Amino acid sequence: MQKTPHLLIACHECGLVSAIPPFNGSGKASCPRCGHTLIRKVINSAAKVHAYGITCLIMLLLSCVFPFMSFSAKGVSNSISLMDAVRVFHHFDNNALAAVLLTTIIVLPAIYIILVMYLFHVANKLAKGQAVISPPSLLKQLSRMVFRVEIWLLVDIFLVGVIVSLVKIAALADVELGSAFWSYCAYSVLVVVFSRSIDKEWLWENLFPSYSTGEVKAGDTHLSGNHVACRVCHQINEPHHKHCQRCDSRLRPYNPAKNTAWAWSFLISAVIFYIPANLYPMMYTVSLGSTERSTIMDGVILLWNLGSYPIAAIIFIASVFVPMTKMLIIGWLLQATKEGITDDRDALKKLKYYRFTELVGRWSMIDVFVVAILSALVNLKGLMSISPGPAALYFALVVFLTISSALIFDPRVFWGPLSLRETSFNSEVSGELT
């Protein structure tokens, strides 16, 4: 196999193959048909990754070591650390949610940051012609893992959950923020900045240069039948390959019937779990011997009655409106694949709805994180305590299943098959630089 003389990338949202011209400086290349970002160039990406990565890890360590916040009422107080919020579900025999919290806000982000820094270190050495000890098979495995877990990093969502928790309990007692809270705020911002500083194309080209795409040319699509594009490293492979020749990822040939069936199965499961998630209590509040159960809507109504209208709106949108809307949109899109797409304008319209489901899906976890913070913080030795209800697990399953349904759904189905669709973009098409 020979290295390709120019970069060809197949858009995984519309299937169009584009030739990306070389460009200097920061910027991005977008698909000329659907506008999806194909690559994003970052100047001095390796240096930025190491600088932001080290700072992220320091802030995470400080967040786990020092007090996070304290809660006091009628002379009784309770102080918690970040790990207390993670362990609270384990304390109430809900190990599945405990694992979700530990994984999504601490373990996965830390592994993600460390591995990205390591891969850029190796790529930088290879770019300078220096030898590396790590075998290519290990580097490929680490690279695949890193770029598949990005969507499951919920650091920023947990921070919003903490802020919502503060508003909920501010009217009940005094809350004092610890130094770990401010460290976590910095950590959340830095994780986002860190992910934006990664130049994936530079990393892949220096770790494993792209190979010849054979007869594939700009203007081909997923309907051409002459290639299978890797969703992880963007390598265009010949159709007979089962695994990517560049990163060894398992390839996903265009198979709308199979992908649609899996998407339907995840969606139907989410709808089933959404019913108990709203009927069962999300948390129990014990105050002076009396127990009060609260569903998701009860929490929204309570915040509204307390005058916290913006927070009530956030909880309602994230925990009620977004999951329901996302399930309805995914169901509508799946049904639309059976009815057919009339033209490219119709395809773009449905693609925008699909992007909306990808964008907002993770934010529904806010209510689960709110329950974790409140359960860990409000524990005042019989005076007042909050414990998670069964709806928390069901709601987390709804979020997981709707995200999985959107991930398995193949938006390329919007772009075919229609007559002349493949010829509407010729071989002269190229990535649009912005």
> Other CB atoms closer than 10 Å to residue 124's CB: what's the count?
18
The answer as to CATH 1.20.140 being correct for domain 44-198 is yes
At a CB cut-off of 8 Å and minimum separation 6, what does 98 contact?
Answer: 86, 87, 88, 89, 90
| CA neighbours closer than 13 Å in the CB half-sphere of residue 412 | 23
pLDDT band at 254 (very low <50, low <70, confident <90, very high): confident
Longest dimension (CA), the chain: 76
pLDDT at 421 over 50: no
Give the Å distances, CA to CA, from 51 to 48, 123, 377: 5, 16, 34
Residue type, 48: K
Q: Looking up tokens 């590396």, which residue turns up? A: 132
What pLDDT is recorded for position 2?
44
At a CB cut-off of 8 Å and minimum separation 6, what does 231 contact?
Answer: 12, 249, 252
What pLDDT is recorded for position 112?
95
pLDDT at 116 over 70: yes
Q: For residues 311 and 211, which has the higher predicted lDDT (pLDDT)?
A: 211
**Residue 18 and residue 9 in contact, taking contact as beta carbons nearer than 8 Å:** yes
What pLDDT is recorded for position 184?
93
Alpha carbon 298 to its chain's center: 28
Q: Which of 233-242, 366-375, 399-408, 413-422 has the lowest mean pLDDT?
A: 413-422
pLDDT band at 4 (very low <50, low <70, confident <90, very high): very low
pLDDT at 186 over 90: yes
> Other CB atoms closer than 10 Å to residue 352's CB: what's the count?
11
pLDDT at 420 over 70: no
Q: Which of 43-47, 91-95, 361-365 has the lowest mean pLDDT?
A: 91-95
**Of residues 99, 165, 132, the one with CA closest to residue 400:** 99
pLDDT band at 391 (very low <50, low <70, confident <90, very high): confident
Cα distance between residue 155 and residue 159, in whole Å: 7
pLDDT at 419 over 60: no
337: its two tokens: 């694949």
> Other CB atoms closer than 10 Å to residue 250's CB: what's the count?
11
Angle at 200 between CA 146 and CA 404, to 5 degrees: 45
At a CB cut-off of 8 Å and minimum separation 6, what does 217 contact?
Answer: 8, 17, 427
pLDDT at 294 over 80: no
Cα distance between residue 354 and residue 411, in whole Å: 8
Strand-pairing partners, residue 77, are 72
Specify the long-range contacts of residues 287-295, CB closer than 8 Å, at least 24 apart. Answer: 287/383, 287/384, 288/383, 288/384, 293/389, 294/389, 295/391
Global pTM reads 0.85
Write b or e for each residue in 193-216: b if 16 or more Cβ atoms lie within 10 A of its Cβ, otherwise e. Answer: ebbebbbbbbbbbbbbebbebeeb
Start and end residues for every CATH 1.20.140 domain found in the chain: 44-198
Write b or e for each residue in 125-152: b if 16 or more Cβ atoms lie within 10 A of its Cβ, otherwise e. Answer: ebeeeeeeeeeeeebbebbbebbebeee
What pLDDT is recorded for position 290?
66
pLDDT band at 3 (very low <50, low <70, confident <90, very high): very low
What pLDDT is recorded for position 382?
60
pLDDT band at 425 (very low <50, low <70, confident <90, very high): very low
Q: For residues 239 and 91, which has the higher predicted lDDT (pLDDT)?
A: 239
pLDDT of 62-109, one tens digit each?
998 888 888 776 666 777 788 887 887 777 777 888 888 889 999 999
Estimate the crossing angle of helix 136-148 against helix 108-127, to 10 degrees.
Answer: 140
φ, ψ of residue 7 in degrees (nearest 5): -95, 120
Average pLDDT, the chain: 82
Q: CA 321, 326, 329, 330: dihedral to nearest 10 degrees?
A: -160
